[in-house]
Structure formats: structure tokens, C-alpha cells
Amino acid sequence: MRQFFSPRFWLTLLALGGLLLVLITVFGGKSTPGIAPVQADADPERTIDLISWIYIATPQEGFGFERGATTRDLALQLDATRTMVVKAGTPGEITCPTFDVPGTCTVAADLLGDAVLWFSIVPGPPGATVVLPAVVEMIDGGFVRLANDWIVRRASTVERSCVEDTSSLSDFIRTYGENATSTFNFETQKIVKVSCPREGTDTTDPISSSTVVPSSVIVGTETETVTETVAP
């Protein structure tokens, strides 16, 4: 019988296999040309599904952040019946200086069902509303973009509280930009009001877009309140 698989045949296969291993070693760690490598948090834009004040925060022992993600679980009691659990490895931030004091902070979260994809804990005591950074863009579908790149829902009727009148919410945004503030209602989970800077406020120093402004009264007694109905 004729021999089809000679030693030379097997040597050729071994040589090709060795060449393939060399190519994998040299080029295996490099990305394919034309395909950008995936980067975590390349886009700071966040769609916020829930904003709520925190009754009690209970971190597991050893809780902290490593590379922008939690190292241990964090339980956030929102009310008598709801507790949000932020699992270890969840990206987020905490900018509330009284995180360990009950009832002094507010949480904003990007959710997938009950799972927390991203969260931010910011100053904001219990109450009906919390003051957030300015609305800088209106988005279709009943959403707005805030100065800190959060995307949140807005009410169909938005109050414009200011000494000087503006013709529309878009006009308000163009006039005051990031120097204004917005008010978020916990019950409706929507932006319900925008407020211009108080008279005498230095408009050259816009509100920080990295943290939420603590809840406070923004409009003085001389302020005129104007309401505007915005189509969803």
C-alpha cells in the first residue's frame, strides 16, 4: 500500500503549527486594525432611572472604591419598604460628605430592573424635592440633559422661576446656561422646575457639574414664577 503520510508531511505540519504559535504570541495582544478597543466609562452620559434620598446607608466591612468601582456591597435603605443593594464591582461615586449620617444624602442610579449599573451619592436631605444642576438640553421623549451629563425625565409642565421672564424653556436654557438650577421631585421622579441665579450671584462661576447642589430655597420673595407646558 502506498504511504500517504510520509515523515516530510508531518514535518511540514509541525512547521506550520509553530509559525501559527509565533504569530499568535506576537499579535495576539494587539487590537484588530480598524476596531477601537473597548474603554470603560468612555461616555460620561448617564440615564438616571431613580433618584431618592437615603434613610440609612450600610456598607459591608471593607467597603471602598477601586478603579471607580465598589469593593464591597452597599445597602441603601430608601424608605420603610425599599432597600437598594449596590453590589461589589459596581461603578459609581460618593460626593456626600456626611455619607455615614442618616438622612443627609441622596442617591441617583442607572438601573437594569433591580440591578444597579451605576450610582452616585450626593448631598440631599429628606424632603419632597432636591435641587440639581442646570438643565442644558431638551431631549425627545420627555427627557432633559443636566450640566453633569445626567439624563432625567421632565414633567410636561415645567416651572420657570426667575426675576426676568423668558419665552420658553429653550430660551431659559440659552439665557442662563449652567448658572441655573433645576428641581427634581422625588414622588414624580421628574424635573419640575428650573430656577435662574439669584440676583447678585456671580454668573461667571457656574454651578459645579460634578456634584448635586444641596436642597435649598433658590428663589427669593421678589421672584416671579412662570409655568410652561412642554409637549412630551
Residues ≥6 apart with Cβ < 8 Å to 28: none
Average pLDDT, the chain: 77
Q: What is the pLDDT of residue 99?
A: 87
pLDDT bin (cut points 50, 70, 90) of residue 181 is very high
**Residue 213: is its pLDDT beyond 80?**
no
3-class secondary-structure state, position 24: helix
pLDDT tens, residue by residue, 60-95: 999 999 999 999 999 999 999 999 999 999 999 999
Helix (H) or strand (E) segment spanning residue 176:
helix 169-176
pLDDT tens, residue by residue, 113-158: 999 999 999 998 888 999 999 999 999 999 999 999 999 999 998 8
Torsion of CA 71, 77, 112, 95, to 10 degrees: -60
Helix (H) or strand (E) segment spanning residue 49:
none
Q: How far apart are the first and last CA of the chain?
A: 83
Q: What is the pLDDT of residue 48?
A: 97
Q: What percent of the chain has pLDDT over 70?
A: 66
Output 183 or 208, whichever has higher pLDDT: 183
Q: What is the pLDDT of residue 159?
A: 94
Q: What is the pLDDT of residue 16?
A: 56
Q: What is the pLDDT of residue 209?
A: 36
Q: What percent of the chain has pLDDT over 90?
A: 57
Q: Which of 53-67, 86-100, 169-183, 193-207 has the lowest mean pLDDT?
A: 193-207
* Residue closest to 102 by CA, chosen among 128, 65, 75: 75
Output 29 or 61, whichever has higher pLDDT: 61
Could you tell me the pTM of the whole model? 0.68
Question: In 10 A of CB 194, how many CB atoms?
Answer: 26
Q: What is the pLDDT of residue 26?
A: 43
Q: What is the pLDDT of residue 75?
A: 97
Question: In 10 A of CB 109, how many CB atoms?
Answer: 22
Q: What is the pLDDT of residue 205?
A: 34
**Residue 5: is its pLDDT beyond 50?**
yes
Rg (the chain; Cα; Å) = 26
CA 161 to chain centre: 26
Residues ≥6 apart with Cβ < 8 Å to 200: none
Burial of 125 (0-12, 13-18, 19+ CB in 10 A): middle
pLDDT bin (cut points 50, 70, 90) of residue 222 is very low
Q: What is the pLDDT of residue 198?
A: 73
Torsion of CA 154, 156, 161, 163, to 10 degrees: 130
Q: What is the pLDDT of residue 164?
A: 87
